[in-house]
Amino acid sequence: MRETNYVDETPINHRKDYGQFFTPVSVARLMTQWVMKDDPKTILDPAFGLGVFYDEVTKLKSGNQVLFTGYEIDNHILTYLNYNGSPNLQIENNDYLEAEVGSFDGIICNPPYMRFQRFLNRHDVLPKIEAKIGKKLVGYSNISSVFLVKSLSEINVNGNLAFIMPFEFFNTGYGKEIKKSLLFNHLLKQIIIFSNEKEIFSDATTTVCVLLCKNDGKDDDVKITVVKTNEEIDKISDITNFYQREIKPSDLPYNKKWTPLILALFSEQEPPKGFCKLSFYGTVTRGIATGANDYFALTKSKIKDWKLGDNNVCKCITKSSQIRQSIFSDDDFSSLYNADKPVHCLDVKDHKSQEIIEYINEGEKLGYHERYLTKTRNTWYKIENRKPAPILFGVFNRGRLKVIRNFTSSINFTCFHSFYPNEPGKPLINKLFVYLLSDIGQQIIKTNKRCYGNGLDKFEPGDLNDSLCPNQKQLEMIDYEAAESIIDIAKSDTKMAIRISNYLIERIMTAKQDTPLALSGGKHHCQLSLIAK
């Protein structure tokens, strides 16, 4: 009831500003069971919110007095609480990250979910936390990870900790030091994953997991629990005995992505033999960050109206929605250009042109030169120097990873990542695309994804660079004409191209590495022969 009233009466922007999403009672109960299992005398909740964890502790304490301390920075949410008659509860209306809280037998938390850059006092707070834990923290950490690091340093010997964390934390750079601490100090005991998080965490904006930790110094195997439904949660009487897999801490290297390692425990498919990283063939980089896409992205009519000239603009993919097929050709670009879509980017070469001077002045009049990225440049309107990339990857994806074979001279904004082949990769670019298009390639690459909830996946360039793909000998087994034929088919029939790609990739994973794989008879024959199989 408290949560319903709060959500109904509180603007969503306020909740976003404080990174608030609420813990389902069923999940709070599991977490509380873990924290209460060794009869703690003191418990801390660093992000008290509406008090769901305190409510569950109250139900479980069975007459034992537990001193419960909660920190909550949001004055507004505290007005929805009514704990005046609770002598064992102490709520501090302060920022937990700035507080000296001491140590506790139990810590339980659903931390705020936001980028640490949005935390205004971060430059003052971070050095203090780093000094306390004796480690350097990466400045772009999500604030939930900073909460966790601080809490891990405040748990008493033999104390228990339960934390909700974004699942992406397992794969990120900022997660390395935290994972290292969890492993080297033998803290991590169990990871709970929710396979249908939208049913359980309907309010969450990212895929979440629960970490269960104990400060006992024992090098125990880490239990992996997958929970599928709310009904399943209700049937769990002891979370420590509800798990499907165990993994040795030594099999969870802190400097590796954990998502593929964890998911592999539940996969019947063996990792492909002989595969190498995509970075062997080249480098995936992010697209061009302009800091003001609405100013830099130009349509045919805007170029004409401002008389910018061909030498001051370049072809550019500015939105993911501009490419809907897996092949992007010059004809596709022309169609977008003639439809007056923003498929050019400002790329000033003639700085003395009166028309260019006027357009720059217009940008400054509108304040574009004072934006976060533009004001850090020596020349605010100068974009990064990039070449067209032959393969593009969608940054955010639902379902299949968006992979584009780019045959145009278009560069791209950050809506796509760009793959630039090295010398070994250049002659294999079409064959690499066949692999990336195939269902097999998609399944393998997506083990490196970052889950953002509601079926939305994100890939950073490093995630793609570390993805596995066939080695040179395996790719060389695919006939050049076969790869070109699949690309030709993909221009009009992506599904058929995927099916033929699957056929070829399956064969190179099982065939002897001295047999070239060809598709004879042209496109029509390829389709018929594949359907017959």
Among 302, 387, 313, residue whose Cα is nearest residue 353:
313
Q: How confident is the model at residue 524 (pLDDT cuts 50, 70, 90)?
A: very low
pLDDT digit string, tens, across residues 232-282: 888 888 898 888 889 999 999 998 888 888 877 876 556 678 899 999 999
* Mean pLDDT to the nearest integer, 325-336: 97
Q: How confident is the model at residue 136 (pLDDT cuts 50, 70, 90)?
A: low
Kindly state the percentage of the chain with pLDDT values over 70.
86
Give the pLDDT confidence score for residue 260 in this predicted structure: 80
Give the pLDDT confidence score for residue 378 in this predicted structure: 93
The C-alpha atoms of residue 406 and residue 403 are separated, in whole angstroms, by 9
- pTM, two decimal places: 0.63
Q: How confident is the model at residue 395 (pLDDT cuts 50, 70, 90)?
A: very high
Give the pLDDT confidence score for residue 120 in this predicted structure: 47
pLDDT digit string, tens, across residues 45-54: 999 999 999 9
Alpha-carbon dihedral of residues 38, 39, 41, 47, nearest 10 degrees? 70
Give the pLDDT confidence score for residue 139 in this predicted structure: 54
Give the pLDDT confidence score for residue 205 in this predicted structure: 57
Which range (186-190, 462-466, 485-489) has the least confidence? 462-466
User: Taking a C-beta distance cutoff of 8 angstroms, is the pair 166, 208 a contact?
Assistant: yes
Task: Please list the residue range(s) of the chain that carry CATH number 3.40.50.150.
Answer: 2-264
More confident residue, 13 or 514: 13
Please give the CATH superfamily to which domain 2-264 belongs: Vaccinia Virus protein VP39 (3.40.50.150)
* Mean pLDDT to the nearest integer, 379-394: 96
* Residue 454 pLDDT > 80: no
* Mean pLDDT to the nearest integer, 510-518: 59
Judged by DSSP in three states, 431 sits in helix
Judged by DSSP in three states, 119 sits in coil
Average pLDDT, the chain: 87
Give the pLDDT confidence score for residue 270 in this predicted structure: 63
Give the pLDDT confidence score for residue 370 in this predicted structure: 94
pLDDT digit string, tens, across residues 188-237: 999 998 876 666 676 665 678 999 999 999 999 999 998 888 888 888 88
Give the pLDDT confidence score for residue 178 in this predicted structure: 85
E strand residue ranges, 266-386: 276-277, 282-286, 297-298, 313-317, 327-328, 344-346
Give the pLDDT confidence score for residue 435 in this predicted structure: 97
Q: How many helices (DSSP H) and strands (DSSP E) are in the chain?
A: 22, 23
Give the pLDDT confidence score for residue 498 in this predicted structure: 96
pLDDT digit string, tens, across residues 351-366: 889 999 999 999 999 9
Q: How confident is the model at residue 112 (pLDDT cuts 50, 70, 90)?
A: confident
Q: How confident is the model at residue 469 (pLDDT cuts 50, 70, 90)?
A: very high
More confident residue, 4 or 318: 318
Q: To 10 degrees, what angle do helices 25-36 and 52-60 make?
A: 50
Among 385, 491, 480, residue whose Cα is nearest residue 429:
480
How many C-beta neighbours within 10 Å does residue 397 have?
Answer: 19
Among 377, 429, 372, 365, residue whose Cα is nearest residue 403:
429
CB contact set of 206 (below 8 Å; sequence gap of 6+): 113, 166, 167, 168, 451, 452, 453
Q: What is the DSSP string of 183-222?
A: HHTT-EEEEEEETTHHHH-TT-SS-EEEEEEE-S---PPE
The C-alpha atoms of residue 240 and residue 221 are separated, in whole angstroms, by 12
How many C-beta neighbours within 10 Å does residue 365 have?
Answer: 9
The C-alpha atoms of residue 392 and residue 343 are separated, in whole angstroms, by 16
Q: How confident is the model at residue 529 (pLDDT cuts 50, 70, 90)?
A: very low
Give the pLDDT confidence score for residue 237 in this predicted structure: 83
* Mean pLDDT to the nearest integer, 131-157: 78
Per-residue buried b or exposed e for 102-135, using 16+ beta carbons within 10 Å of the residue's own CB: eebbbbbbbbbbbebeebeebeebbeebeeebee
The C-alpha atoms of residue 126 and residue 120 are separated, in whole angstroms, by 11
The residue type of 260 is: P
Q: How confident is the model at residue 523 (pLDDT cuts 50, 70, 90)?
A: very low
Q: Residue 347 to residues 291, 311, 316, 362: CA-CA distances in angstroms?
A: 14, 8, 10, 16
